[in-house]
Structure formats: C-alpha cells, structure tokens
Chains A and B, each alone.
Chain A
Amino acid sequence: MGVATFITYGFLFISLYVEVFLLLSYLQNSFRISAPIAPKKPNRYPSVAVVVPCYNEEKSVVGTMRSLLALDYPADLLEILVVDDGSTDSTLLALEEFKSDPRVRIFSKENGGKHTAMNLALQNTNAELIGCLDADSVVAQEALLRIVPVFENDKISAVTPGIHVRDPQTMLQHMQHVEYRLSIFNRFIFAVLGSVFITPGPFSFFRAHVVRELGGWKYAHSTEDMEMALRMQGAGHLIANAPQAVVHTSTPRNISALFRQRVRWTYGWLRNAIDYRHMFGNSSYGNLGLIVLPSAIFSIAAGIYFFLRILANAILAARDEIARIYFSGVYVPHGQFEIFYVNTSAMIFLVMVSIGLILVLICAGSLIGTGSRRPPAATPLFMIFYSFLVPIWLGVAVLRAVFNTGVRWR
C-alpha cells in the first residue's frame, strides 16, 4: 500500500468515524426531538434585549425590524437596540419609521466592527438576556418564546436557534438551503454533546451578566460569534440549542459573495482555533476537546486533501488520454458500459457509505428543523457542487490563516 493510499484510507476512516459517532449520538438522543407544538410558556418572563448591528443595511433592516416587533413577547420586557455602525448608506433613514416604538432604541456610532456594536448595546441595557439579530435576518413570531424557557436551566448560559435560508432563489441559495439543514443537525448534536463552539449572529441569546463577566465581545478575527462560544466553553458555561426557534437569514446569491463569506468564516475559525489551541485534545473539555474541535479542524484538512487527490487524478487521466489520442492518432471511445470495468474498490464503497451518512444527517437536520425527514430538493446538487466548491475556499482560508492576512467583512 503506497503512502498516498494509506493517507487516503486514514482520512476516510476518521471521516467515517466522526459521522458514525454523530449519528450514534443523534440516535441516542432522538427522543429529544418533538413535533413542532406550541411553545412552552416560561415560568417567568425575563427582560430581553435584542441587538441589531447595522452597517449599510438599508435594504434589509426594515424587514428585520418588522419581524422583531412582531415577536410574541411582553412589550415591556423586550427592547430592541439598533446600533448603526457608521453606515454610509440610508440605513438610519430606513430606521426612522421605528423610532416611535417604545421598544426600540437607535444608536449611531463610528464604524468599529460588529463586536463594538454589540458591546455598545451591552453597556446600554439592563436586560437579563441579550441576543443579536443580524440585519439580514428575520425571525419567526414565536422564536423568542422557544428560546427563553431554555434559560430556566440555570446551567445554561447561551442558546442558539435553528437557522434556515431566507427565501432561496438562485441555485446557489438552494444549495445553501441544504447546507443549513446539515448545520441544524450539527448545532443540535453539538449541544447534546455539550460542545457548541459557535453562537451564530442570527438570534443567539446569552445571559447578559455572563457576557459582562467574560469581558464582552471581541474582534476575534471577524468571527466574534465563534470566539464568544469558545470563551464561554473555556469558562465552563453550557450552550444549548433550540432548533424550533426559527430564524431565516439571507445568504449570498452568487459564487463570489459566498466565497468571500466562507473564506471569512473559515479564516476566523482557524485563527480562533490557534488562539484556543489548548482545548484541542484536552480531555478536561470532554467531547468538545476530544472529538468536536479536532474533527472540525480535521474536516478542513480532509476536504482539501480529497480535492487535491481527485484533481491530481483527473489531471493525470487527462494527460494519459491526450497522449493516447496524440500517439494513436484516433479517438477510441471508452466503449459501452461493461460490468467488468465498474469500479469496486474498497475506497469507492467507503466513499459511498460516507455520502450516504451525510444524506442521513441532512434528513436528520430536516427532521430537527422542520419536523419532516424529507431533505430539500437541491440535496443532489449540494452533494455534487459543494464537494468542489468547499475545498477551494478552505484552501484559500488556510493559506490566509497561515500568513495571518486578516479578512474583511465585505
């Protein structure tokens, strides 16, 4: 067995192991998934602050605000703090119509990044719970009532929602729709394992005093949502997930926007992973240190490795084919289908099992997020195209992380 084959089998084994472990954990906890029923009323309604950081969001912030004002929650216990982070467009003008609502407070400051907007809101609220809603997202009416009761467990310091793609239109958005179902599964299972390491921008909530104790939000390589979750985990706080707290978020419409977003996410994740490297493989962080964080890094390495291997094989095959045509002087088609030539290598079987398991995880994500096991129609497209797209932005992000180039929001 050559070195390349050995490495490939090694990557395949670990990939399969992680998938099997996640699926096993899911099956052990599937009783926790219930059909969407009316949200449980909290024993006590805590005061809640929702922060809407805005930077040039004139087109989307109105929809975001309307969805927040439509939330089912006692008006006197809900405040919405909109922080305009130095927008250069008409964001402030668009917010005019909400000024008269007693629940809304609007702040304007020089541009300093999302973490500064969050910290400004944190300084200006006495609410018990503080959350964020990116200005490109909208929430379901009952979303807050799905999240607040989870905080009745004193050990829980943060709760993440179930994030769905908002009104997918382009092919790329439909593929992201599938990807987000997989993320719903991951967020759920990581919560079950006590290992959530991202508290995403759209509608994650925190105990405000915990955030203050931890020192507020940090720049964190433009991914303050990852850093905050890691810092909370480091301090021993539990982060839960409420997948039925539905949030719809706008996603990139085209490849270049998606590419920029994902390079930023992956870059931020890698740089934060370096900052929190003491957690990796550390058994005192339990599943997070032993399985979840190492597998997150491993998935990046595996994605790049498999892509490069497939690319190298494709280039060699093309070179051979060109040489064959050049020297033989004829193009000999590979002929009709013959059973004999069907690839039945162990590697093919393992790749098929791995793809099958991903499909199962997408179905599980659909069940957790929507109550139906049916995966989105674009699942086959997602499986094919994402296999080629993801390694490219992973590769670029790894290079940028190695050279610590920094990333921009837009």
Chain B
Amino acid sequence: MEEPVVNTRAARWGSYIVAFLITALIFATALYASNYFNNRRIADVQATQDNISIDILSLETQFELLAEHSCRDISENSVLSNEIRPLAQRLSYLETQPGVDQNELERLKRYYTLLQIKDLLLMQQVSKKCDLTPVFILYFYSNKGDCKDCEQQGYILTGLSEKYPKLRIYSFDYNLGLAALQTLIDINEVRNAPPALVINDQTYYGLKNMEDIARVLPELLTLETASSTAATSTEQ
C-alpha cells in the first residue's frame, strides 16, 4: 500500500451521480427483462389457447361428421383434458405476478372462459349423441374479495380432480362480465353468492366438502381413481 488514504473526505458529487445513473440503469434493465419474460409467458398461454381452440374446432368437425360415422372415434376426454388444467394453473400463476399486463391477462381469462363453455356444450352434445355419461361440475367463484370460502372450495375441487382425473370441473369467475358466461349463469339460475356449484342441473351454495359433493354426484364413484389409473399404467 503506497498511499493508503486519500487526504480528504470531501463529498464526491461526481461519483454520487455516476453511481446513481448506474443503479438506475440496473433497475431499468431488470424491469425490461422482467417485462420481456412476462410477455413470453403471455405468448405461451396464447399459443396453448390457440391449440385448444383448434382441438375444439376439430372435434366440432368430427361431431358434424357423426351422422355418417359411428361414435367409436370420439370419447369424452378427447378435448381439453391434457391442456386445460395446466392452462388454468398458468393463468392463476400469472394473476399473482407483478408487472403482468392486466388488460392482456383479462383478455386471456375471457378467452379461456369461452373455451371452457364451448367444451362444455360440445361435451353435452357428444354425450347425448353417443350415449356417454359425462361427470362434470360447474364452479362459480369470485376474486373480488367477497367470497371467503372460494379459496378453500378451490382446494377441495383440486383434490377431487386429483383423485378422479376424468372428472371435468369448469371454473368460472362470476364477475368476469362476459356475455356468454352471463348467459350460462342465467340458464343455470346461479345467484351472486359464490362459491356456487352446479351439479346435475342443481345449484348448491356455500362451501361443500368432498363428501357433500360425492353425495349429490353419485356418478363420481363410477370414475376411475388416480390410484387405479396408476396401477393400470404400471401393469401395462
């Protein structure tokens, strides 16, 4: 150490300003990078939704051809089952992330809701035509902070869908303000009192646990459970 100390402690305004500019640059870069990756996520979700849309269109086309063909090629789970759940999870994740374009996210949620309604209608049509017995639940929730049980109801339905992978659960934000969703709400006469479950054309309000749901949806027991599916897969 030749010169261990500078003979002054005078303020270094030049260094203060340069350090401020560098820090601001680091902040700007971090915000830009975060925004870039959020946009990539949005694009990813969009692509998934487009794929689902194509799948639905494909099944609709398939359905129109049924007059000439048998139901053999169509099963209840040929649409959405692979991609709808991860998509819902991804949308939920994006909702929790700061910096995500809220308008874009709202648009994706509307699109997702429409896809669910289309899938629901198509499934009902296919079931009627092909004599299938789909087991499904419509779940109406609210994100406005006026539904203290919605989070718990969501956990219970997640548990059910984990236990019965072939159970279809359609989740709708009651307050989304989408015309098609409003029509669905009106048809099922769902009041603004979420959580609300529509099971076999009957609407139930308030928190329902797994036993409650199994009681009003006895068809649940006809579905394969995750453990039996896993056992079958293992045997294969």
Contacts and interface: CB of A to CB of B under 8 A. Distances in A.
Interface residues of A, number: 58
Contacts of B156: 327-329
A350 B30 contact: yes
A287 B9 contact: yes
Contact of B26 (A16, A34, A150, A285): A16
Contacts of B22: 20, 24
A29 B6 CA distance: 9
B4 A191 contact: yes
Interface string A297-315: 0000000000000000000
Nearest to B24: A13
A118 interface: no
Interface string B140-178: 000000000001100110111011000000000000000
B33 A344 contact: yes
B157 to A, nearest CB: 8
Interface in A14-51: 16-17, 20-21, 24-25, 28-29, 32-34
Interface string B79-115: 0000000000010010001110000000000000000
A5 interface: yes
Given A28-B15, A32-B4, A240-B4, A349 B30 contact: yes
Interface string B15-55: 11011101100110111011001100100100000000000
Nearest to B48: A340
B3 interface: yes
Nearest to A17: B23
Given A241-B5, A329-B159, A20 B19 contact: yes
Contacts, number: 141
A25 B11 CA distance: 12
A21 B16 contact: yes
Nearest to B207: A327
B152 A327 contact: yes
A144 B43 CA distance: 65
B187 interface: no
Nearest to A9: B27
A294 B163 CA distance: 57
B210 interface: yes
A24 B9 contact: no
A285 B9 contact: yes
Contacts of B210: 329
A244 B4 CA distance: 10
A236 to B, nearest CB: 9
Interface stretch (A58-66, A87-95, A175-183, A192-200): A192-200
Nearest to B13: A290
A244 B6 CA distance: 17
Contacts of B5: 150, 153, 156, 191-192, 194, 238-241
Nearest to A350: B30
Contacts of A34: 1-2
A188 B4 CA distance: 8
B26 A287 contact: no
A349 to B, nearest CB: 4
Contacts of A194: 5-10
A241 B5 CA distance: 7
B18 A24 contact: yes
B102 to A, nearest CB: 13
A210 to B, nearest CB: 15
B69 interface: no
B215 interface: no
Nearest to B9: A194
Interface string A269-311: 0000000000000010111101100000000000000000000
A32 B155 contact: no
Contact of B1 (A242, A283, A291): A242
B21 to A, nearest CB: 9
A16 B23 contact: yes
B18 A286 contact: no
B99 A328 contact: no
Given A20-B22, A291-B16, A286 B9 contact: yes
A21 B18 CA distance: 8
A212 to B, nearest CB: 23
B1 A32 contact: yes
A330 B16 CA distance: 55
Contact of A340 (B11, B31, B41): B41
Interface string B196-229: 0000000000000110000000000000000000
B12 interface: yes
A346 B34 contact: yes
A408 interface: no
Given A328-B155, A340-B44, A349-B34, A25 B15 contact: yes
Nearest to B4: A240
Interface string A228-257: 000001000011111110000000000000
Interface of B: 1-12, 15-16, 18-20, 22-23, 26-27, 29-31, 33-34, 37-38, 41, 44, 90, 93, 97-99, 151-152, 155-156, 158-160, 162-163, 209-210
Given A193-B12, A238-B5, A329-B159, 15 more contacts: A20-B23, A24-B19, A29-B6, A193-B6, A195-B9, A233-B9, A241-B4, A244-B1, A290-B16, A323-B155, A328-B155, A340-B90, A344-B34, A349-B29, A349-B33
30 contacts: A16-B26, A17-B19, A28-B15, A29-B6, A32-B3, A32-B4, A34-B2, A191-B5, A193-B12, A194-B8, A239-B5, A240-B5, A244-B1, A287-B9, A290-B11, A291-B16, A324-B155, A324-B158, A326-B155, A327-B155, A327-B209, A329-B156, A332-B158, A340-B93, A345-B34, A345-B97, A346-B99, A349-B33, A349-B34, A350-B30
Closest 4 CB pairs of A and B: A194-B9, A328-B159, A344-B37, A327-B155
